[in-house]
Amino acid sequence: MIRKHFGPDTPHISEFYENVHMLFLNVHPVFEGIRPVPPTVVYTGGLHQKPIKELPVDLLSYLDSSKNGVIYTSFGTNVKPDGIATHVLKKIVKVLSEVPYDVLLKWDEDDLPGRSDNIRISKWLPQSDLLRHPKIKLFITQAGLQSTDEAITAGVPLIGIPMLGDQWFNAERYEYHKIGFKIEPNTLEEEQLKNAISTVIEDNSYRQNVIKLRTLMYDQPMGPLERAVWWTEHVLRHGGARHLRAPDANMSWWQYLELNLVLTLLISLLILVFIFISLVYFVCINYVTSKKLKAA
């Protein structure tokens, strides 16, 4: 596919792997989990986020006028209405229709069967700015990484209903950091979702944990964009970043797992076992032979 678009002289993908000078990851290690990485791996979590903008007048009026607060619900741009199982959608809509809060739902169709008057639907919403409004009590999300980043930045607790890719991992991190809940769509029950909503909203520790996590994530000497620019320029200034590469960067999998050492130890162990069995056999044969000679 690469050669189709860039020409027949394009190097094989394995050559690209061997010539990676800098790897940028759009995740934050505090959220994702700490791991030992070489300096050629640069974390740029939150790179996509932009400065806050004013909300549209009608949306701002809707949020400001909410008496009990708003639950914002969105399953992202990749999950279409027909991508959500009908029985799961019915349960979600039923629960949201019964909560004592207003519900703002991003929905790609003109109507949502079964919704009550407290649910407002819209095909597009300025999510990042919306989440920062003080009336937002909870974000029910598919647990996409960008949505998660935006909720943490806004200090809003989450309920994740994962459906694609890395969303299961992200939702599990909600529970690990105590900033929300993960609910499996295939086993979702109305009472389960209802309890999760009331717990996250009424227990203020979830919001406090989000704010604490945000503080830890953004207490850095430079932002993700500045960091990405600085390291890109570093690579350009020095004609690459070979000086920062780890010695094992281009190791094969069998070298990385040290299978040669494992094989040597295994062979040594087998030799020792063979010697031990041979000695036992020799001793037993001598013992039996001597017994027969004495009996004769």
The DSSP line for 155-215 is T--EEE---STTHHHHHHHHHHHTSEEE--GGG--HHHHHHHHHHHHH-THHHHHHHHHHH
Encode pLDDT of 202-231 as tens digits: 999 999 999 999 999 999 999 999 999 999
Q: What is the pLDDT of residue 277?
A: 94
Residue of higher predicted confidence among 71 and 11? 71
pTM of the predicted protein model: 0.79
Rg (CA), the chain: 29
Cα(56)–Cα(158) distance, integer angstroms: 24
In the predicted structure, residue 296 carries a pLDDT above the cut 70: no
Encode pLDDT of 93-107 as tens digits: 999 999 999 999 998
Span 55-63, mean pLDDT? 94
Q: Which of 267, 8, 13, 30 lies closest to 148, judged by CA?
A: 30
Structure tokens at 85: 């199982």
Span 36-48, mean pLDDT? 90
Dihedral of the CA atoms 138, 144, 149, 150 (nearest 10)? -50
